[in-house]
Structure 1
Amino acid sequence: MIEQIDVGKVLFLDIETVSGVATYEELSEPMQALWRLKCRSILRQYDEEIDAETAAALFPEKAGIYAEFGKIVCISVGIVRRDKADKRLAIRLKSFADRNEKLLLEEFAKVVDEYYGNPNVYFLCGHNIKEFDIPYICRRMVVNQLALPFTLDLYGKKPWETKHLLDTMELWKFGDYKSYTSLKLLAAVLGFPSPKDDIDGSEVGRVFWEEDDLERIALYCEKDVLATAQLFLRYQRKPILEDDQIKHVS
């Protein structure tokens, strides 16, 4: 049961992704052709040719969703600890954000291996983490030719061997597989602050490629991590974290 999990042994995480290059025109010709093919499924026009103009228009908004055409620009993490002075829980938030994807993946993997490497003791937690964040991280690590952290090497693992991956969206489903429930909606339903008060996911690419504001993206990502931790605490029927219990660290 989730109430029995020690929140201090959970690494909360979220990622932000953008298109691999700024525009469709910057892709190689083979990748342009493959993106046009991908656009068929995006638009559900499986038997129609997609012209370059349509493919170019879709690229900035949609390419970052796919690990083959996108890249990670930020991985934010949060750890919850009990304050020694007042005994209340507190969260420390940190981001691995870099224009060099390989570097940020190496730094993230080092932390996971060093501090959360035992799947029998520690957990990784995120919202829709099993469908998006974890597969995306693993695929981009393969693209960058990096070794997977032990807890993310999931090949051949049975479901009961991946219990260290806690998905707060899956926990809300209670066996129902019909729909996606956003973190923003659950924040409203369960009474904790919404993570969406600046940009949203569709704007991350623009903020990265046009504004070159990686710090803003990292802060946005950390807010999602905080909201995920708050949701987890709600599942455990514990008080949410107040402003003075939240710390952003470099």
Structure 2
Amino acid sequence: MSTHFEMNNILFLDIETVPQYEHWNDVPEETQHLFELKTQYQRKDEFTPKQFYERAGIWAEFGKIICISVGYFVEVENNYQLRVTSFAGENEKHLLLDFKELLNVHFNKKKHLLCAHNGKEFDFPFIARRMLINGIQLPEKLNLFGKKPWEVPHLDTMELWKFGDYKHYTSLSLLTHIFGIPSPKQDIDGSEVASVYYQDKDIPRIIRYCENDTIAVAQLLLKFNNLPILEKKNILQVSLQLENS
């Protein structure tokens, strides 16, 4: 496989999301009813809406973003270096605005692409929807209105691995395993993010988890291009950007 893209024109990213409310009883009554309708197919008769609410973070209508981690390649002495940083915290609108500024200032040219694992089904639309809900005008890289499929500036490592097999789902953990990339799931997994956020209130732990996924996506694209993965010394995790105000 060869994607024929310049690595330093790609912004790799991953997001972490949680339900908008910690407890079902805090959810407004009308929202509870709409959540019940939205999830009826997934729940069937196995779960009540209350029991199912812990999964609300996967829907932009009932969840919120608490972390966006990004990574990009730079060339240093003829070698790639991956620089990673995060926008995270309790104030979703602030972190979305900071992410939008990054896109508008540093990744606003036609050559620039966004890349995530399952990004086309989850990360990219989730960010766009939450921006609109927060009253933020979409940056060009997320505004797909009127674009033809080949004009969409998005890469998806899961889609690349499908090779046209639209029924084939492969997790990031499995791909990193078979390609010999260090596992991003060394601490927590996605099912634990909400409890770490609401109960432990440990946002730095979530940031580390999100950044590890972002690094794994970048390493995976290197392997897709038959390039060696980066050594740890060539991965620079710069200062965290927390938005709590």
The answer for the alignment partner of 1:71 in structure 2 is: 64
Partner of 1:169, secondary structure, is helix
Q: Which moved more, 1:12-21 or 1:153-162?
A: 153-162
> What aligned pairs does 1:1-250 form with structure 2 within 5 A after superposition?
2-45=2-45, 54-60=48-54, 62-84=55-77, 87-118=78-109, 120-162=110-152, 164-250=153-239
Deviation at 1:4, TM superposition (A): 2.3
Deviation at 1:242, TM superposition (A): 0.8
Deviation at 1:38, TM superposition (A): 2.4
Following the alignment from structure 2 to structure 1, what is the Cα–Cα distance between the partners of residues 10 and 50? 40
Q: Deviations over 1:215-246 (max 9, x none)?
A: 11011000000000000000110110111111
Following the alignment from structure 1 to structure 2, what is the Cα–Cα distance between the partners of residues 203 and 90? 30
Following the alignment from structure 1 to structure 2, what is the Cα–Cα distance between the partners of residues 126 and 248? 18
Deviation at 1:7, TM superposition (A): 0.3
Following the alignment from structure 1 to structure 2, what is the Cα–Cα distance between the partners of residues 179 and 63? 24
Following the alignment from structure 1 to structure 2, what is the Cα–Cα distance between the partners of residues 81 and 21? 39
Partner of 1:4, secondary structure, is coil
Following the alignment from structure 1 to structure 2, what is the Cα–Cα distance between the partners of residues 28 and 4? 49
Following the alignment from structure 2 to structure 1, what is the Cα–Cα distance between the partners of residues 193 and 184? 14
Following the alignment from structure 2 to structure 1, what is the Cα–Cα distance between the partners of residues 237 and 95? 18
Following the alignment from structure 1 to structure 2, what is the Cα–Cα distance between the partners of residues 23 and 36? 15
Following the alignment from structure 2 to structure 1, what is the Cα–Cα distance between the partners of residues 88 and 138? 19
- Off by >6 Å, runs of 4+ in structure 1: none
Partner of 1:237, secondary structure, is coil
Point out the structure with the larger helix share: 1
Deviation at 1:44, TM superposition (A): 3.1
Partner of 1:196, secondary structure, is coil
Following the alignment from structure 1 to structure 2, what is the Cα–Cα distance between the partners of residues 114 and 182? 32
Q: Deviations over 1:118-162 (max 9, x none)?
A: 2x2111101011000000000000100001111111112210111
Deviation at 1:43, TM superposition (A): 1.5
* Two-structure CA RMSD over aligned residues (Å): 1.4
Q: Deviations over 1:13-58 (max 9, x none)?
A: 000000011111111110011112223122135xx9x7xxx22221
* Structure 2 residue runs without a partner (length 5+): 240-245
Read off the aligned partner of 1:55 and give its amino acid letter.
P
Following the alignment from structure 1 to structure 2, what is the Cα–Cα distance between the partners of residues 247 and 93? 6
TM-score normalised by the chain length of structure 2 = 0.94
Following the alignment from structure 1 to structure 2, what is the Cα–Cα distance between the partners of residues 39 and 108? 30
Following the alignment from structure 2 to structure 1, what is the Cα–Cα distance between the partners of residues 117 and 44? 26
* Structure 1 residue runs without a partner (length 5+): none
Following the alignment from structure 2 to structure 1, what is the Cα–Cα distance between the partners of residues 141 and 41? 32
TM-score normalised by the chain length of structure 1 = 0.92
Read off the aligned partner of 1:233 and give its amino acid letter.
L
Following the alignment from structure 2 to structure 1, what is the Cα–Cα distance between the partners of residues 150 and 52? 39
Read off the aligned partner of 1:58 and give its amino acid letter.
F
Count of equivalent residues: 239
